[in-house]
Structure 1
Amino acid sequence: MTFANALYDGLFADVEMAALWDADAQTAHLLAFEAAFSRAMGQAGRFDATLAAQAADHIAAFSPDRDDLSAGSARDGLPVPALIRQLKAGAGDAARAIHAGATSQDVLDTALALTLQSTSDLVDARLATLVQALSDLSDRHGENPLMARTRMQAALPVTAADRIRIWRAPLVDHRARLTLARAQTERLSLAGPTGSTDFGGVAAQMAKALGLTTAPQPWHTDRSGVVGYASLLALITGSLGKMGQDAALMAQQGIAEITLAGGGASSAMAHKQNPILAELLVTLARFNAGQAGLMQQAMVHEQERSGTAWALEWMVLPLMAQATGRALVAANDLVATITAMGDPHKSV
């Protein structure tokens, strides 16, 4: 899923983040679940051990028919039934050791957990880079004076370091929040059709094999971890949007409290140098703020399973992750373009 058409990829696209959410990555996660499930069930004695090992090997080497999976989603509301049919069709007797007892939500939610794990790795790495870049920026320009502005009116003199500190501090907090969010999202889902199946030690073995943890209770309808993660993405982009808004205002002609290398050209006014990266941070912050409200709707599940609320996550969360990834790249690029901040010839 992408934001718009290819004309805007240069502005909005984050190829690295999008790859974590694309069909190839998701299919690999679905297969990883099924292989780990067959193997763990065999080792626990719930499937014939020989057939389970054969099934796991078959799944690990399997290349699904992607068009059939897409058609299956249209027919069944999700791709897992079509995937299981494909897997069993070529598995022979080992088909009896594929998926039996699991449910589609176990598969898809575990795939989501694996996706969020990779997403968190990328987000945290980019946050760390940005935090350091802002520290370096403060080292270079922090002593220069700026005019503090409250309600967009001149207030009292401060330093560039004071403003950079306001940009940097929330990002440090967001890294701590991300650590907490990982504990609530990087969890295996294995609870069966009604969320009440006891798989005993199978879950612990699968979680270890997949690099996840086990959940204290089923989360088929408890979407607080996933929705909380989306809210964190909105917090991150919101903080970056504040930095972008400040930079755009500081770059205004007549104020010129910041100097940005490069900038966007105007088709009509050759003298203009538009602060595109700063503006993009504001746009992405507002986008994610709206999407976070939609994700809250995914909290409301009916009884033990929902199709409507659950499917909403598939539409919204990938876009929020991509917006966050792009915002972090843009923020790092913006900081790299700052050649001057404040007035080095004045003192506070």
Structure 2
Amino acid sequence: MSASPFDHPFLSGLLGDAEIYAHFSAEADIAAMVQFETALACVEANEGVIGAESADAIERGLADFKPDMAALHDGVARDGVVIPALVKAMRQAVGTPHDEKVHFGATSQDAIDTSLALRLSDVLAVLEDRLRGVVAALQSLETAQGSVELMAHTRMQAAIPVTAARKIASWRLPLERHIERLEAVRRDVLVLTFGGAAGTLEKLGDKGPAVRMRLADALGLRDIDNPRHSERDGQAVLANWLSLVTGSLGKMGQDIALMAQNEVGEVKLAGGGGSSAMPHKQNPVGAEVLVTLARFNATLLAGIHQSLVHENERSGAAWTLEWMLLPQMAVAAGASLRAARVLLDGLEFRPQGAT
């Protein structure tokens, strides 16, 4: 048993997803926060908030920036967020007299939430590509085997004969709807967070809106008038979408596991699933993984809804809960899509009465 199966040396073979997980690594987070700070200095120089020489010094000083992870560890233990220790290290890398212009006008949440948005852009691109791949695999399966006759089951009891195409459609159509929903999800989460201490950009005066718009453009994120420091509905929309994806794949996995039972025998699975005690068995491992990850994300979704409850302008507790849950949900969705594709590539429908 492990505290996290997603990066476990062997459990990750079943439940992990190295590609998605990499976007939530400390290294990826720091790189995105450095990108934010460098772009911030550049646009502030363009608007005359800081000098061009300061922006140049910040860009040079952070080009190969590698912070001391132990110092960041101790800083988070003390401050609850990484930015005070990280900005201190950044300022040391930039050096005097330009060090005080690093992070000028921003607050910790601006850097942390914008880092998340930048990384989610890549994560959602990967998930969309995989989702389309699963839909394409289902379409191919329907073309090749859709005419195979199966027994429909309602309330776990045999009902009437149907074709495999009917079963496949019930797996494919929800996934197509999730693709359609993704653009709205992107609009909710791929936004710039930039508001300063309490969302007013008070240090930038009348330059604030112009800096914010330039910064959003530079980072490829949507500009919004009011930073969502304590408005976490966008993250909840993303979490809901992730749970919908894994839930739909879980329904497919549950169907396949039932159809693969020896007494039913309506599908044949390729490879794997061996038993240490019963060598005759071929366990439906891939299908079971889809069910597990669906239930996992459904459980975590309730926690994300708890993280909506921010007090006043910022909550340390609700925000920290979000850090704990949202990355796991994204990795679970990635792993589920990967497992679904492997499962479908080795799936063969068997007509009723076939041996």
TM-score by length of 1: 0.96
Task: Write out per-residue CA displacement over residues 183-204 of structure 1, whole angstroms, 9 at most, x where no aligned residue.
Answer: 1111110011101226221112
Unaligned runs of 5+ in 2: 203-207
Match of 2:205 in 1: none
Matched, 1:120 2:124: yes
What's the CA shift for 1:345? 8.5
Match of 1:301 among 310, 328, 336: 310
CA distance in 2, matches of 1:206, 1:342: 57
Q: Bigger CA drift: 242-251 or 42-51? A: 42-51
Please point out which of 37, 54, 67 is paired with 1:51: 54
Contact 1:160–1:342 under 8 Å retained in 2: no
> Where does residue 229 of structure 2 map in the other structure?
220
Paired residue secondary structure (1:271): coil
Rounded to whole Å, the distance in 1 between the matches of 2:162 and 2:333 is 30
User: Could you tell me whether the CA contact under 8 Å between 2:150 and 2:352 is conserved in 1?
Assistant: no
1:37-82 CA distance string (max 9 Å, x none): 1111111111122212221332233221122112211111111110
Taking the aligned partners of 1:218 and 1:343, their CA distance within structure 2 comes to 57
Q: Tell me which residue corresponds to 1:24.
A: 27
Query: 2:38 aligned to 35, 39, 55, which one?
Result: 35
What TM-score does the superposition give when structure 2 sets the normalisation length?
A: 0.94
Q: Which amino acid aligns with 1:332?
A: R
Mapped contact 2:266–2:352 kept (Cα < 8 A): no
CA offsets per residue over residues 75-106 of structure 1, 9 Å max, x none? 11111110110111232111122112100000
- What's the CA shift for 1:344? 8.1
Displacement of 1:29 in angstroms is: 0.5
* Offset, 1:216: 3.6
SS at match of 2:23: helix
Q: Please say if residues 151 and 352 of structure 2, whose CA atoms lie closer than 8 Å, have aligned partners that are also in contact.
A: no
Shift in alpha-carbon separation, 1:142–1:305, aligned structure 2, 3 A: same
Equivalent in the alignment of 1:343 = 351
Distance 2:61 2:220 in 1: 21
* Structure 1 residue aligned with 2:196: 192
Indicate which of 211, 230, 250 corresponds to 2:259.
250
Q: Which amino acid aligns with 2:26?
A: A
Gaps of 5+ in 1: none
Amino acid at match of 1:3: P
**8 Å CA contact 2:240, 2:301 repeated in 1:** yes
Aligned equivalents of 1:197 and 1:10: distance in 2? Answer: 46
Residue aligned with 2:98, SS: helix
Identity of aligned residues (%): 44
Q: Which amino acid aligns with 1:37?
A: L
* Mapping for residues 124-273 of structure 1, pairs under 5 Å: 124-197=128-201, 199-273=208-282
CA distance in 1, matches of 2:352, 2:138: 18
Secondary structure class of the residue paired with 1:158: strand
- The reply on whether 1:10 has 2:13 as its aligned counterpart is yes
Name the amino acid aligned to 2:181: R
Greater shift, 110-119 or 194-203, is seen at: 194-203
Aligned to 1:84: 87
Q: Deviations over 1:217-272 (max 9, x none)?
A: 21001100011101110000000000000000000002111111113111111111
Matched positions, count:
345
The CA RMSD measured in Å over matched residues stands at 1.5
Answer with 263-272 or 116-125: which moved more. Answer: 263-272
